[in-house]
Amino acid sequence: MTLSEALTEAIPRLREAGIEDAPRDARLLLAHACGLGSDRLTLHLGEELPGRAAQIFAASITARMRRQPVSQLIGQRQFWGRTFRVTPDVLDPRPDTETLIAAALDVPFGTVLDLGTGSGCILLTLLMERPSAMGLGVDFSDAALAVAQGNCRALGLESRAELRQGSWFAPVDSAFDLIVSNPPYIAAAEMPGLAPEVRDHEPHMALTDGGDGLGCYRAIVAGAARHLMPNGVLMVEIGPTQAPAVTDMMVASGLQSPQVIQDMDGRDRVVRAVKPH
């Protein structure tokens, strides 16, 4: 069987399983099985599929039909032009979160704190884009921190990024120019309606607070002022209906100049506010 024939066989199976972009997913999984870059796959489609690669590809297609995310199956995800390792222990980095990166890079900062760092994609991307900055990432999950540490090493940021285990500000003992977070913001009642790739395969701790979806913002906003430098900025990713509630929290806590930032689809995605000087 050639690589092309393997694709021809796999794509209809993915479509029957309800996979929206079956051709793309099949190509990514085949390239991974063959140890090829996805951009090089076309050059090898006429070649015979090696036995070991065929086994890996078949297992990957079966797992994808069960709606396991492609990023978990190939172990990585592209984010802001870089490759980050991904496992079932961390949230799959999403293009929507690049809105938070773009907003953060509009702010002058020398130090940054990332709460709920997960894979580390937010913290490490900001440090890569600001070569003079230092940062701290906090996560409650030791398994997630292990993934973040691996990504930190891969990007050569060990000297500028520190990772600590704990809940929100508990392990934080200093103040920062910028605090960022993409916290669990899905309400418990919304969880059953999520796509199977998310609901059944991503860590629930990173998805929901188990309540109304606003609990993590309450904890973050309550501690932000104590850990921001004067004129420091708090910036959080939100669900598309949460801007009014999160903005009100920030104002009530004494933060000023709240701003809601939309993503590429025009949905509210980020709320930011400033600690007064």
| Cβ atoms of residues 166 and 140 within 8 Å | yes
Same domain, 7 and 48: yes
User: Is 71 inside a domain boundary?
Assistant: no
Same domain, 34 and 159: no
* Beta-strand runs (E) in the chain: 76-79, 82-85, 111-115, 134-139, 161-165, 176-181, 228-237, 256-262, 268-274
Same domain, 113 and 176: yes
How many independent structural domains does the chain possess?
2
pLDDT at 183 (0 to 100)? 98
Same domain, 82 and 61: no
Same domain, 137 and 246: yes
pLDDT at 178 (0 to 100)? 98
Q: Which tokens is 3 given?
A: 């690589």
Q: How many Å apart are CA 1 and CA 178, to the nearest integer?
A: 54
How much is the mean pLDDT over the chain?
Answer: 97
Percent of the chain with pLDDT over 70: 100
Per-residue pLDDT tens digits for 100-110: 999 999 999 99
Per-residue pLDDT tens digits for 174-213: 999 999 999 999 999 999 999 999 999 999 999 999 999 9
CA distances from 5 to 10, 47, 51, 54, 87 (A): 9, 10, 14, 11, 29
Same domain, 89 and 56: no
pLDDT at 277 (0 to 100)? 84
> Last residue of some domain: 28, 45, 66?
66
pLDDT at 169 (0 to 100)? 98
Place of tokens 């701003």: 259
Q: How many Å apart are CA 205 and CA 183, to the nearest integer?
A: 9
Per-residue pLDDT tens digits for 3-60: 999 999 999 999 999 999 999 999 999 999 999 998 899 999 999 999 999 999 999 9
**Residue 214 CB contacts under 8 Å (≥ 6 apart), including other chains:** 185, 242, 245, 246, 249
Domain boundaries, position 33:
3-66
| Cβ atoms of residues 129 and 102 within 8 Å | no
> Last residue of some domain: 66, 93, 108?
66
**Residue 171 CB contacts under 8 Å (≥ 6 apart), including other chains:** 138, 164, 165
